[in-house]
A and B are shown apart, each in its own frame.
Chain A
Amino acid sequence: MAKLNINGKVRDVRVEDDTPLLWVIREHVGLTGTKYGCGVAQCGACSVHINGEVMRSCSIPVGSVKASDKIVTIEGLSANASHPVQKAWATVDVPQCGYCQSGQIMAAAALLKKNPRPTDKDIDEAMTNICRCGTYQRIREAVHVAAGGATTGSKS
């Protein structure tokens, strides 16, 4: 049994304490925008915010999450995809298959919250999620766009 604050809503879930937060979010709470990619905190597809920090939810046992912890998933990032990162992702036409993009967007949003004008080096260090389609160049550009920069024009 756990009490979780997800996207501003407090929910009770009946689940074993060692269940990864990812699977609680996906299977018990029913929010499937957060993705399973590796289960070992390598790929970042499962990234969520916990108290404003980006975390890999596949490797966090739900028993270690406190009722007071504020969890935000991709579904709770904004209403109507209006977060600057989501808008930038649309402007730059970032996603290919889209599977990893929830995690990428959550990682970018966390970066920009701490560092509103990241350099390329800051982006290198913060954006460590795997994308098999290879959208990295557009992710970099979109992070700059979300930070208020113009597009680099690498895209036609």
Chain B
Amino acid sequence: MRKMTFGKGKQLSRRKFIVGSAAVAGGGLALGLNVPFAQAQNGAAANEVNIWVAIKPDDTCVIRIARSEMGQGTLTGLAQLVAEELECDWSKVTTEGVTPGRNLASKRAWGEMGTGGSRGIRTSQDYVRRGGAAARIMLLQAAADQWKVPVAELTVSKGIVSHAASKRKTSYGKLAALASKVTPPDPKAIKLKDPKDWTIAGKPLKRLDTADKLNGSKIFAIDLKLPDMLCAAIKDCPVFGGKVTSFDESKIAGMPGVKKVVKVKDTGVAVVADTWWRAKKALDALPIVWDEAGNGNVSSASIAEQLKEGLTSAATNGERKEGGDALKAIDEAAKKVEAVYSTPFLAHACMEMMNATVKLSADKAECWVASQNLEASLAALSEASGVPLAKCEIHRHDPGGGFGRRGGTQDYVHQAVAVAKEFPGVPVKLIWSREEDQAHDFYRPISQCKLSAGLDADGKLTALHVRVSGQSINATLNPKGIEGGKDMRQLQGYYAEPGDAQLGYTVPNLLIEYAMRNTHVPVGPWRGVNTNQNAVYMECFMDEVAKAAGKDPLAFRRALMEKYPKHLAVLNATAEKGDWGKPLPAGVHRGIAQFMGYGSYSAAVAEVSVSDKGKLKVHRLVLGLNCGHAVNPSQIEAQVQGSVAYGLSATLYGEMKVEKGRMTNLNFDSYEIMRLAEFPKVETVIVPTHDFWGGVGEPTICVAAPAVLNAVFAATGKPMRSLPLKNVKLV
């Protein structure tokens, strides 16, 4: 098993400084560190009203953003929420990323920076709105002080403050310096706007971060250029858990540009050169002997056997049980339905592969990196370099895709530090090849699921047994999340508790179990995490059971959902927009699904056709989402479309196969991704109920796949139980 945590640091004890994966609630640094950071303490600009808002003399309104922006639109949404309360001119808003060093030095004044689990907006909305409102209050007070009038006589619109009686006007830009000296209000005492009065938030505004993505000028971490910079290519032992035995440097002696070969953390070898291409070419030519640590015989077939055993094993690692004895009830039922489903390992395949640039000087460590958890990046830099936190800094770059890969692990930062140690004072940019990126991911866990249902004589569901057997994310990334051998995380979406990932069905006799079966392959959160597999299992099986009961899939679900009005409302809205029950062109079939994750309710209706030759075409997908408050409907629509591309790529093609202990699908020729031509017409139905804050980036991905699979079931009469579909003969 590869090392996932930071155990070797001398400066920090792990007890004080914990880094978790991005999808673990609260993943980030342990609170309570107070690190002196001169720049932050002395760096407050005169026009900084508070930590969230600085307004320049020309009225440009700079809104600070702590969370990471990797395409999901959080940056724009957070700025909208601040601007809404600030009452500034949206056309004058720009943003500035907070660095983790600055956040830490300010006792985490900007809150948690980790951006995963669809938490970017929902868990920061309250304090960012209060930050914007506090700045407004201070700016108005500054005007009142200047004009010597009661603040209650002032009005503000789009950053212009007016005093009607004296017909005076001024702008935020002119007030900012004064406002920064006003005593800040107690944030808790601030009354926030009723969302129904929003004029900036809740609107489908354009993103703020588009311009430099259109002309090539955006500098991703992989694009970084620094004076005297060297580049490194790396190969970690292709067999997980293995080590470097030896390598023959003489074979690449004299190759152009090559500076050094570096053994990295016992498990990898990096070649450093003046350009990355030269480093990669030399690395490819370098003979390396690996110690496979006994894992060289593991294959997808052996892992499948291991998981299969967990479907019927006596012991389990977590369960939800309700009503009577579900197994007995199924046994005694008028009709029984049983099925076994399976889903494979998946790679994230972010378009920008893993990379990090590190420069280590005598008393300073710097890292330029794309991260979903900037504080974890900072922690990794300090731990790996041995340089105290206060002398480490992360230069943040927006990730070219994250999807859960760039969270707490920061393995590439550790590697880049190890390489940079060989070149003091020189920046070294480490870039993984696509092949390395595919070979060393923290993959979506593999799992199988056996489901059994009992129906009474009227076709009513009386009992349901769900047994998930598969790998645990906690076992790889967060062993403390497993208590007494129980790991409920893998049952995401099947929970009884409301508010996060609650199962939306009432079943008189219910037994849901998890059997942990870990392999040597490292796993981690992958957009939607366990809701993806669990929704496929539950929702596809629902259709199998509905068919056995002789009932319409929608009607069958509705009958189980009386106690779950929010789940039901989204299902109903989606069914209506998706024309459920209405006639279809010949050969086109529908499927439906609903599920909950990340505090939001989702449903989908898919329309597909399957040709005589078994070729699948997904024509249309209608996706419904209740995320409570819809901060930017246009970006929600973009996220829903994105979740379809990510989810259906997995459904149709996604599969990381293990042979001889290593991954075999190392580039897009064998790890195929859905392209534009296959992308269905996606219609987004946002049905916010305005009484909670749910996530957006992940919730809909889990319903896309089962809706399509159920439509294929309707088209072919064959339940689709094994993903990806490329391996399944449809007719």
Q: Is the CB of B216 within 8 A of A40?
A: no
Q: Is the CB of B216 within 8 A of A131?
A: no
Q: Which of A90, A125, A129 sits near B214, CB closer than 8 Å?
A: A90
* A6 within 8 A of partner (CB): no
CA–CA, A80 and B212, complex, Å: 10
Contact indicator per residue, chain A 59-85, by CB within 8 Å of chain B (1) or not (0) = 000000000000001110110110000
* A12 within 8 A of partner (CB): no
A121: shortest Cβ distance to chain B, in Å? 9
Q: Is the CB of B641 within 8 A of A81?
A: no
Q: Is the CB of B220 within 8 A of A95?
A: no
CA–CA, A43 and B649, complex, Å: 14
* A115 within 8 A of partner (CB): no
Interfacial chain B residues near A156, Cβ < 8 Å: 204, 633-634, 637
Contact indicator per residue, chain B 273-305, by CB within 8 Å of chain A (1) or not (0) = 001111000000000000000000000000000
Residues 193-220 (chain B) with a chain A CB within 8 angstroms: 204, 206-207, 209-220
B300: shortest Cβ distance to chain A, in Å? 23
CA–CA, A35 and B221, complex, Å: 12
CA–CA, A73 and B683, complex, Å: 34
Interfacial chain A residues near B445, Cβ < 8 Å: none
CA–CA, A35 and B433, complex, Å: 13
Q: Is the CB of A123 within 8 A of B668?
A: no
Classify chain B: how many residues form its interface, as a range. 35 or more
Q: Is the CB of B400 within 8 A of A138?
A: no
Interfacial chain A residues near B210, Cβ < 8 Å: 89-90, 93-95, 98
Interfacial chain A residues near B634, Cβ < 8 Å: 93, 155-156
A108: shortest Cβ distance to chain B, in Å? 11
Contact indicator per residue, chain A 85-125, by CB within 8 Å of chain B (1) or not (0) = 01001100111111111100100000000000000000111
A57: shortest Cβ distance to chain B, in Å? 12
Interfacial chain A residues near B231, Cβ < 8 Å: 27
Q: Is the CB of B676 within 8 A of A101?
A: no
Q: Is the CB of A132 within 8 A of B211?
A: no
* B481 within 8 A of partner (CB): no
User: Which one of A28, A32, A127, A137 has the greatest number of beta carbons of chain B within 10 Å?
Assistant: A137
| One of B70-78, B154-162, B541-549 at the interface | B70-78
Of all chain A residues, the one with the shortest Cβ separation from B642 is A134
Contact indicator per residue, chain B 394-432, by CB within 8 Å of chain A (1) or not (0) = 000011111100000000000000000000000000010
Of all chain A residues, the one with the shortest Cβ separation from B257 is A16
Q: Which of A40, A102, A132 sits near B673, CB closer than 8 Å?
A: A132
B353: shortest Cβ distance to chain A, in Å? 8
* B638 within 8 A of partner (CB): yes
B349: shortest Cβ distance to chain A, in Å? 6
- With known contacts A98-B400, A100-B351, A93–B213 Cβ distance under 8 A: no
Residues 22-63 (chain A) with a chain B CB within 8 angstroms: 23, 26-28, 30-40, 42-43, 45
CA–CA, A26 and B217, complex, Å: 12
Contact indicator per residue, chain B 660-696, by CB within 8 Å of chain A (1) or not (0) = 0000000111000111110101110000000000000
Q: Is the CB of B433 within 8 A of A138?
A: no
* A5 within 8 A of partner (CB): no
Q: Is the CB of A134 within 8 A of B72?
A: no
Q: Which of B70, B215, B433, B667 sits near A97, CB closer than 8 Å?
A: B70
Classify chain A: how many residues form its interface, as a range. 35 or more
Q: Is the CB of A42 within 8 A of B214?
A: no
* B225 within 8 A of partner (CB): yes
Interfacial chain B residues near A75, Cβ < 8 Å: 215-217
Interfacial chain B residues near A132, Cβ < 8 Å: 349-351, 401, 403, 645-646, 673
* B56 within 8 A of partner (CB): no
Q: Is the CB of A42 within 8 A of B401?
A: no
Interfacial chain A residues near B633, Cβ < 8 Å: 156
* A2 within 8 A of partner (CB): no
Q: Is the CB of A27 within 8 A of B277?
A: yes
CA–CA, A132 and B644, complex, Å: 10
Q: Which of A27, A86, A127 sits near B215, CB closer than 8 Å?
A: A86
Q: Which of B277, B641, B667 sits near A19, CB closer than 8 Å?
A: B277
Q: Is the CB of A33 within 8 A of B401?
A: no
Interfacial chain B residues near A101, Cβ < 8 Å: 213-214
- With known contacts A81-B215, A93-B210, A155-B634, A99–B352 Cβ distance under 8 A: yes
- With known contacts A97-B399, A101-B214, A134-B646, A125–B677 Cβ distance under 8 A: yes
Q: Is the CB of B638 within 8 A of A96?
A: yes
* B107 within 8 A of partner (CB): no
* B434 within 8 A of partner (CB): yes
Q: Is the CB of B216 within 8 A of A90?
A: no
A95: shortest Cβ distance to chain B, in Å? 4
* A3 within 8 A of partner (CB): no
CA–CA, A154 and B634, complex, Å: 10
A–B pairs, 25, beta carbons within 8 Å = A20-B277, A36-B353, A36-B431, A38-B667, A42-B667, A42-B668, A74-B215, A80-B215, A86-B215, A93-B638, A96-B72, A97-B70, A98-B212, A99-B351, A99-B400, A100-B400, A127-B677, A128-B675, A130-B675, A132-B350, A132-B403, A134-B679, A138-B638, A138-B641, A154-B683
6 tightest Cβ-Cβ pairs between the two chains A and B: A33-B216, A134-B645, A99-B400, A97-B71, A98-B213, A96-B71
Interface of B with A (CB < 8 Å)? 70-73, 204, 206-207, 209-220, 222-223, 225, 231, 256, 275-278, 349-353, 398-403, 431, 433-434, 633-634, 637-638, 641-646, 667-669, 673-677, 679, 681-683
Interface of A with B (CB < 8 Å)? 16, 19-20, 23, 26-28, 30-40, 42-43, 45, 73-75, 77-78, 80-81, 86, 89-90, 93-102, 105, 123-125, 127-140, 154-156
Given contacts A90-B211, A98-B210, A134-B643, 4 further A-B contacts (CB under 8 A): A89-B210, A95-B213, A97-B71, A132-B646
